[in-house]
Structure 1
Amino acid sequence: MNLFSFVECANQTQSLKALFDLLVSCASVEAFTEVTYGALTFAEPLRLPECPPPLVAMKAPPDWCHSYLVRRYYTVDPVLRRAPTFGGPFLWDELPNEHQLQPCEQRVLREAREAGLKNGVGVPLFGPSGRISLISFASLFDDADPQRNMKHLNALAWHFHIAFAEIARPSGGGSNRKVSLSEREKDCLRWVGEGKSSWEIGKILNVSENTVNFHVKNAIRKLGTANRTQGLVKAIRLGLIEFSESYA
């Protein structure tokens, strides 16, 4: 399943398990078969069975899942604990270089590798009111390339995160469908999806960089999102702009 198929299917489900299975299926296309989703700074009432806070959903080798839960590694897992210090996707292997990890944190990373989890990628997801969630991807294969797949995994994580928010808090879903963006706001978001900076978008649209920022900020405000990436994903999910494979 590719990212386009994920977006299409995610729009049609109201089940956390079905949505999480879709996430795993889509990530598995690039060999990232092991996935964890957690709510780091708030209590998310909707979660899969056997997932204590901050975990919401988890798919990993059964022996590792058992050890992780029984030994309460989620309380000392550096991927979870250190995620808020990163502004975007990061590699698990970067953690020892970016932080002085405690022995318990080093043990979690070491035992994860011994359990077969390789080439890990964490995607912090920042929301309103200081909310921070995390989706973590890992592979069982040595040749999985986290750097090459970083953009794809980041987009996939945000699509899942926004779809999950609609399932977990459906009372806010109806108002989301009434969002209206101007054509210029849509144009700016489309180019954000192509990876263009405000300066580059300004050159393409023949407007100033400040004008681009104005339109993007307006779109983010209307969509009730926290940043450009989240705004782009939500606009796609609501059908306000067309999905492009280049977003993957």
Structure 2
Amino acid sequence: MAQVSRPRSAAHGRPVAILVPGADAIANAGDPLSVILGWARGLGFDGVTYFAPADAPAVPVPMASWSTWDARWQQAYRDSDYASVDPRLVATAGQSLPCLWDGGMIVARGRLRRFLDDAARAGVRSGVAIPIGTARGRAIVAFDSSVAPVTMPRLAAIRERLGELLWVAHAVHASRQVDRPPRAPSRTDAQRALSDREHDCLAMSARGLTSRDIAVKLGIASRTVDFHVGRALVKLAAINRHEAIAKAMARGWLS
């Protein structure tokens, strides 16, 4: 793994409050995913994955995640326990510097090989992982790319925009509040959190059904489906269906 060099530090002086340019856009947007995805693409990447702070910097450690990638890939990632071999986590363990990883240059077998193959099919082939220290532990903001191998011109372009990547990483971290998944989730836990109707509507949404499709299957009105999904969003502290589905899957409430 090649580490991206750290930019020169600013001179020490009086502490001042620094605002991340445009950070409020995430909080104010009706769809924060589109804002974050737009920033990532503007910086030359295809997506962002945020790993919530773990209790310790070691890997493997159960970590919750939020991502701009589709729910199917996120579920496959958790089901296969890829966190234990994910270069974005392994390469940044115990590190404070951003790390560039390139799946096209990694000679691997076993679970790591399966991760690289599955991630590549999802569109994640390389990227920059940025560790962020917090009071709860460490978070990782990963800028993901479908490009591999990483050429020297691209590496130079990444280094040129490293400062912007750091700004956006901190903005993403400040905006994302992802709950760590329980170690042994049960259906009883899910039922306590979501009603049967809320669970059914969200589960069908995860399979790509629209409110109208769900209404036909359940024999209820579309607005009733929207009502149940809306209550699920509130309980999961999610902005939209995509985020609610991802959070529910992270907690083991949807399969």
Q: When the two structures are superposed, what TM-score results if normalisation uses the length of structure 2?
A: 0.46
Who wins on radius of gyration, i.e. which is larger? Answer: 2
In terms of fraction of residues, the more helix-rich structure is: 1
Q: When the two structures are superposed, what TM-score results if normalisation uses the length of structure 1?
A: 0.47
